[in-house]
Amino acid sequence: MSFEPTIVGFLCNWCSYTGADLAGTSRIHYAPNVRVIRVMCTARIDPTFVLKALHDGADGVLICGCHPGDCHYSEGNYKMMRRYPLLKKMLADYGIDEARVRLEWVSASEGQRFADIVDDMTQRVRELGPSPIKEGLARDMAER
Amino acid sequence: MTDECKIGVYVCNCGTNIAKVVDCDAVAEFALDQPGVTVAKSYKYMCSNPGQEMIIEDIKAEGLDRVVVAACSPRMHEPTFRKALQTAGINPYFLEMANIREQCSWVHDDPGEATGKARALTMAAVRRVAYHEPLEKRSVDMNSNVLVIGGGVVGMTAALELAGGGSRVYLVEREDHLGGNVARVDLTAPFLDSARDVVTSLVTRVTENPRIEVLLESEVTSFEGFVGNFETKVVTKGNGAVSSEFQVGNVVVATGYQQFDASRVTHYGYGKLPNVITSFELEQMLRAGCIETKEGRPPHYVAIIHCVGSRSREFHPYCSRVCCMTALKYAHEVRSAVPGCYVSDIYIDMHAFGKGHEDFYRGASEAKTLFLMYGKNDHPVIRKAGPKDDCEMLIEVNEKLSGEVIEIPADLVILMVGMEAQADSEATARLVNISRDKDGWFIESHPKLDPVATTTDGVYIAGACAAPKDIPDSVAQARAAAGRILARSIHGTIEVDAVFAEIDEEKCSGCRICNDLCPYSAIDFDEEKKRSTVISAVCKACGACVAACPSGAITARHFTDRQINAQIEGVLA
């Protein structure tokens, strides 16, 4: 059986979560691998949430927020945008492939875009295989 | 943590909307096995009265202290279920929803995969809800003043309604006169009432109303604050720019539409062929009482082409809603103004959806208008007539009903230009903090259940700024928005969400990183204590400060680290 990744999605309430809901009301089908956690704004996303998700077994983490300039809180997404490169750098140090964590902008009207991003990311993480953290943890548990 | 709770899990089938893909019974059975879950049920319609009653009775009978509803998006029914919890006597914030419809059953087709995902989302909600804390809603003052942006029929109607209810209204219009697009129209379809009468009576009533302040040649330059407590700045041009500031509790955005630019459709030769004109140019002729070609002759042949810029792959995919009836109105008006004139109406489909429209269509058909149907992507071709022809132009139509290519004469061609979002709709959206759809129209809170509200509390949209609309629908929305505002202003205060950030004084190191981070300047620094504090009424709960605090001293109510971490554990369990 082929590997099916589990991806944790953090979506801002105003743009991206609404965009994901729109994909639903428009019946746009996409891969079932992303499990969404709603936050009010991407600025709320503590980098430790991403690390925790990877630690707890996620094969990837998708963060979606409002397009630059469209943030419901005027500039929350810029804060995420600034945290993101630091987070990526840290993940690289851990040896985690950068394709496993992704930041995307999805507006409330972009249901199709959300579906496309989910499909694309699922495919890319599927190709990467299970997260090394998940495998490492499994190995540690077995040795214990 | 979950062990200490008595959680009830309710899995909604939403008729077959969820149940046809997700095995709801299996999700409920799975939930029942989880620690802390006392009750787990699957039911046809959780949001229905019996569904809510079931939850309320279980809370009372089983002593439930937490509720998970796995159903539609929380953006849809969270308020419904919170109210049910409140009715049952427990804090409404002890609810968590799992979105297994919009983000599961409607987007996945494999029952196994969809059920697996629904289970994970429900699990996340179960884990999260255990950490929910009781929260009390905040009460804030509601200023009864209202800002209305746009002085067209919609803006004026809303202003009158609001003023009638006792509000003071600031009506801002950027042109030097009121009336908007309707002021450019002669008669209205389908009852052929005069648009001028509609506009004039509104303008008179608005200008005479002591509670309405009309600001012409004015634009709103800033709009800050939150529901009930907005501060806005309006700049009036004219004799030098004058800036005024107002405090308002709500705003109605009624900025309408702009007409599609016909020169973008190169194949109809607008701007090149002198006798190809737009619908608004014909309105001008009708208002002046003189229909003639550029050469000053009354036309023998008038052709009307529908869907210019609308229902097209290249320009706008949507229907502009008013053009079909307006075209029939032209057929009627042209013939009464120019007796003996032949009118042909070249259309894709005749959209006669409204009250009196179908009768109007029949009337036009009986009055010998020549109807020709063309295919959506097979538009008619206009060319200049030769010297031997008795007309200015010839139009070739691949007529769909007869299957024949038909050539018709025309002296005057009227392009039914559609509606499009205002060129500056993006700026307006940013000003009042609302969203736009892919075509630039403002997005309503819910297209069916909450059509004039937006996702920003206190900001309402009405009329064609939200999508193409005719006058009756627009007026209905104007009154709806006014009604919503008046109903909420009546008590002088309103309840707002209990969600905001809090700083733990014990943990705060006084580093002040959060102070500059807050986009609303909602964080004060106590110089004496050397600690930061959140002004809860100003906080909008984005959580930027929470994630940035190096001491972990800031908590986002209802979005705490513990709650989100539990959710992460839940989706991955």
Per-residue model confidence as pLDDT tens digits over B146-177: 999 999 999 999 999 999 999 999 999 999 99
Among residues B342, B413, B333, which one has the least CA distance to residue B371? B342
DSSP state at residue B103: I
Residue A2 in domain: no
- Residues from chain A contacting residue B540 (CB–CB below 8 Å): 73
The answer to whether B466 touches B444, Cβ cutoff 8 Å, is: yes
From the list A21, A37, A39, the residue facing B571 with the nearest CB is: A37
Query: Does the global pTM surpass 0.90?
Result: no
* Residues of chain B above pLDDT 70, percent: 100
Residue A1 in domain: no
Measure in Å the smallest separation between the Cα of B120 and chain A Cα atoms.
8
In chain B, positions 375-414, which contact chain A (CB-CB < 8 Å)?
A: none
- Residues from chain A contacting residue B108 (CB–CB below 8 Å): 29-30, 32
CATH number of the domain where residue A47 is located: 3.40.50
From the list A37, A57, A73, the residue facing B540 with the nearest CB is: A73
SS3 A27: coil
Contact assignment for B519 to A74 by CB distance below 8 Å: yes
- Domains of chain B in sequence order: 2-136 (3.40.50), 146-256+422-494 (3.50.50.60), 260-419 (3.50.50.60), 501-556 (3.30.70.20)
Sequence-distant (6+) residues with CB within 8 A of B500 are B138, B534, B536, B539, B540, B541, B556, B557
Measure in Å the smallest separation between the Cα of B76 and chain A Cα atoms.
10
pLDDT mean over B491-499: 88
pLDDT mean over B287-301: 95
- Buried/exposed code over B95-120 (b: 16+ C-beta within 10 A; e: otherwise): bbbbbbbbbbbbbbeeeebbbbbbbb
Residue A80 in domain: yes
Range of the domain at A11: 7-143
Find, in chain A, the residue whose alpha carbon is nearest to that of B541. A40
Task: Tell me what pLDDT residue B278 has.
Answer: 98
Compute the count of residue pairs across chains A and B with CB atoms less than 8 Å apart. Answer: 140
Cis peptide before B74 (omega within 30 of 0): no
B80-132 pLDDT, tens per residue? 999 999 999 999 999 999 999 999 999 999 999 999 999 999 999 999 999 99
B126-140 pLDDT, tens per residue? 999 999 999 998 888
Distance CA B40, CA B29 (A): 7
pLDDT band (50, 70, 90) for residue B536: confident
Q: How many domains does chain A have?
A: 1
Residue A36 in domain: yes
Chain A interface, mutation test: which of B18, B77, B107, most A Cβ atoms within 10 Å? B107
A16-50 pLDDT, tens per residue? 999 999 999 999 999 999 999 999 999 999 999 99
Residue B414 exposure: Cα atoms within 13 Å on the Cβ side: 31
In chain B, positions 497-516, which contact chain A (CB-CB < 8 Å)?
A: 499
Residue A41 in domain: yes
Contact assignment for A39 to B543 by CB distance below 8 Å: yes
Contact assignment for A46 to B103 by CB distance below 8 Å: no
In chain B, positions 98-127, which contact chain A (CB-CB < 8 Å)?
A: 99, 101-104, 106-110, 113-114, 116-117, 120-121, 124
Contact assignment for B102 to A20 by CB distance below 8 Å: yes
Residue A94 in domain: yes
Residue A77 in domain: yes
Position B12 pLDDT exceeds 80 = yes
Distance CA A88, CA B227 (A): 38
